[in-house]
A and B are shown apart, each in its own frame.
Chain A
Amino acid sequence: MKQVRILFLLLFFSFGINSYGVVYESVYIKCDSLTTVDAVKLPYYTFSPTDSFVQQNHRVELMVGDTLDLWVHNTDSIDHYFDIQGTTGVRDTIPANDSIHVVHQFTTPGVFIYYDPLKFPVYAYMGLSGMLLVKDHNHASFYWNTKEHDSTFNYTLASGGSVLWNQYNPKYFTINGISHPNIMNNPVINIAGNVGDTLVLYISNTGYGMRSIHFHGYHGEIMFSSSKPATVGRVKDTFPIYPMEAVMIQIVPDKPGVYPVHEHNLVAVTGNNFYPNGMFTLMNIQP
């Protein structure tokens, strides 16, 4: 029955699409473990791009007007849900060991979080929350999906237990699943470009906590926020990002230099109580 509905959707969209493209994607709900900066393993889920687990969620990229044709495969033994921020009608259940097909056209630019709303925030926290980008530019872009991890919470939630979120005390802080020093040399994370370039950093906060990201060297402009539209147009050096908020920040460097970009809550620049093994990375601007 589900397949019949999908067929109708496909027919509908094949007539509606003109010059815009269709972006075909598949993601797999995979349950495995996150390996931390100090090689500890925590129970963890991701939306992996293939049927084998990878430690970061697959990033979905579209241009404005594109239609996303997405299969979400649930390889887990329990039912999950699926939703994309900023859309209506996408939210659906994915039975255990089953799949759903999502077809949706994106007509406004931005950055949105796709996630599993099951027992929210439990499964989004356990890893099932990734980035979906709808671009209206071709500027050099960098992508940070940020999360924190409290080992006790991961073990308790993985075994079906319940947690008190007001006791949440994460010890690991990751960008795309990794921490300092592993985020010092990563072409997706490290902003790089030349003086005068327009550089774009997309940041999503898919953790439970609050982010405050500080740029050395340059101010940037907030071009988009998925949940705080009143902040668009602000020119800042420190960017708060609320849980389940995603932002687009634009920087036009006026001078060369290698500068840090880091969390300014310095607890988030630790990994299992070691500074600076958290959210501390570099930006490299050449003349």
Chain B
Amino acid sequence: MKRQLQILVTLIILSASVNAQVVNEFLVAKTDLNPQYSLWDGKLTKLMGYTRLLSAPINLPAPTLTFTEGDSIHLDLRNMSQNAPHTIHLHGLDVDQQNDGVPSLSWQVYHSQTGTYKFQAPHPGTYIYHCHVTTAIHLQGGMYGMIIVKPLSGNNVTWDGGYSYDKEYAWMLSELDSVWHQDSLFNHNYDTLNPMMPVEVPDYNPQYFLINGKSEQQLSDTSIRINAQANSTVYLRLAAIGYCGNRIIFPSALNAQVVSTDGRPLPATINLDTLELFPGERYGVLLKPTTEFTDSILVQYKNMNNHQYKSTQKVPVDIDGFVGIEENILDMDVQVFPNPNNGELNILADGFQLGILELTILNLWGQSIKNLEVMKEDGTPIPLDLKDLNKGIYFIKLEQNNQSKTIKTIIN
């Protein structure tokens, strides 16, 4: 009897803990001994930073941490650097004081020790993490990264009941002043009993203006440049963590719409071509191109005190009209109707022979998501049931005897 009760209690405890998803993350805090991080002009710089593996080189920004709304997170920080301790401040997640990463108000992680930050991620959105020890130096040194909290309802939606999108990009905007990336600064004086002890820093005159640690020609990196289909929706997450202000100028054909800031929906969305953001802020922007074009998004960096623009970085934008799929027969008459449809549709495939046709359903990125075989009968359209697919734009590829034709359909 006693044993049964014990089992029952154990079962109840187990079932309760299943609901709270505990996610473990691990980061190493390190400082470069030698310059290793490549800037756009080929120069190398030393960084302070966070990596997932002890052996990994420090990158800018630090690894993006992705969580799901409601997760309980255990984030281990192992400090493998010399000199001052480090912390992780979870900027915008509004965690309790113990886990806020401010050395004078909670705890710090000393050399070769590990500390665990425990917190929740209750609001889907874009956040930042960074060291809060002598922050002016450690943040400029490179100890910053992005946190993305996804909603429970899935990957491609801003928040439950929010906006759905086809593709997302995340840009962390910052700058680098190589004068600050020297041992004399990285090895600053520090009194662990008095973390707010004043430390001298140089004037801030950055030479490098960064998006995800890159600039100039490096911005053609596929993780930064915007490549999307006309009539699709891109969600662009922006986070500013430098000491400059930023102005983003979107081509008007992107139909930019700001929907969120600092991890919360905006009370009213705004359509704009120019967005300003300032150190510590985040914005969520929907881009909704309707035509095929090539252009650039301009990202400007301005001095917070005298408002002078110090740099304009150009990020390439390529909006394609069609998914590039090779066609063996270009003039074959194939139609889909109705279009758009609710997932129930018909295909007229006049050019194909009677008999079996192989169909592949592709998403906007050309990925195959469904394969089926259908029978083409004389004079009748081929009925198709795609009601199990989410709303969106799809391509249907018809194949027979090494000949193919692809058509587009919109399910809504």
Interface residues of A (CB under 8 A from B): 148, 165-170, 180-181, 208-210, 212, 214, 216-219, 230, 233-238, 240, 255-260, 263-271, 273-277, 280
CA A208 to CA B308, docked complex, whole Å: 12
Given contacts A210-B278, A218-B94, 20 further A-B pairs with CB under 8 A are: A166-B306, A180-B196, A181-B196, A209-B307, A212-B278, A214-B91, A214-B279, A216-B94, A235-B262, A237-B91, A238-B279, A256-B97, A258-B105, A260-B102, A265-B304, A266-B136, A266-B139, A266-B279, A267-B136, A275-B137
What chain B residues lie within 8 Å of A277 (beta carbons)?
198
Digit string of B270-305 for contact with A (CB within 8 Å is 1, else 0)? 100000111111100000000000000000000011
Instruction: From the candidates B100, B136, B202, B276, name the one contacting A269 in the complex (CB within 8 A).
Output: B136
CA A168 to CA B303, docked complex, whole Å: 10
**Contact at A274–B198, with CB atoms within 8 Å?**
yes
Q: How far is the CB of A223 from chain B (nearest CB, A)?
A: 12
What chain A residues lie within 8 Å of B306 (beta carbons)?
165-169, 208-209
Task: Give residues 183-211 of B contacting A (CB, 8 Å).
Answer: 196, 198-204
CA A145 to CA B306, docked complex, whole Å: 19
Q: How far is the CB of B279 from chain A (nearest CB, A)?
A: 4
Query: Do A237 and B262 form a contact, CB below 8 Å, given A217-B94, A230-B270, A274-B201?
Result: yes
Query: Do A170 and B305 form a contact, CB below 8 Å, given A210-B245, A260-B105?
Result: yes
**Contact at A236–B203, with CB atoms within 8 Å?**
no
Query: Do A168 and B196 form a contact, CB below 8 Å, given A255-B96, A275-B201?
Result: no
Interface residue tally on B, bucketed by range? 35 or more
What chain B residues lie within 8 Å of A258 (beta carbons)?
97, 105
**Contact at B279–A212, with CB atoms within 8 Å?**
yes
The reply on B403 being an interface residue by CB < 8 A is no
Query: Do A238 and B280 form a contact, CB below 8 Å, given A168-B306, A275-B199?
Result: yes
The reply on B218 being an interface residue by CB < 8 A is no
CA A280 to CA B198, docked complex, whole Å: 12
**Contact at B243–A217, with CB atoms within 8 Å?**
no
CA A287 to CA B284, docked complex, whole Å: 34
User: What residue in chain B is nearest A256 (Cβ atoms)?
Assistant: B97
Instruction: From the candidates B196, B244, B268, B305, name the one contacting A233 in the complex (CB within 8 A).
Output: B268
What chain B residues lie within 8 Å of A238 (beta carbons)?
92, 262, 278-282
Q: How far is the CB of B163 from chain A (nearest CB, A)?
A: 17
What chain A residues lie within 8 Å of B74 (beta carbons)?
none
Q: How far is the CB of B94 from chain A (nearest CB, A)?
A: 6
**Contact at A259–B97, with CB atoms within 8 Å?**
yes
Q: List 9 A-B contacts (CB under 8 A).
A: A212-B279, A236-B262, A237-B263, A260-B102, A266-B279, A270-B201, A274-B201, A275-B136, A275-B200
What chain A residues lie within 8 Å of B87 (beta carbons)?
none
What chain B residues lie within 8 Å of A266 (beta carbons)?
135-136, 139-140, 243, 279
What chain A residues lie within 8 Å of B304 (beta carbons)?
209-210, 212, 265, 267-268
**Contact at B278–A269, with CB atoms within 8 Å?**
no
What chain A residues lie within 8 Å of B280 (beta carbons)?
212, 214, 237-238, 264
Q: How far is the CB of B144 from chain A (nearest CB, A)?
A: 11
CA A263 to CA B245, docked complex, whole Å: 13
Q: How far is the CB of A284 from chain B (nearest CB, A)?
A: 10
**Contact at A234–B267, with CB atoms within 8 Å?**
yes
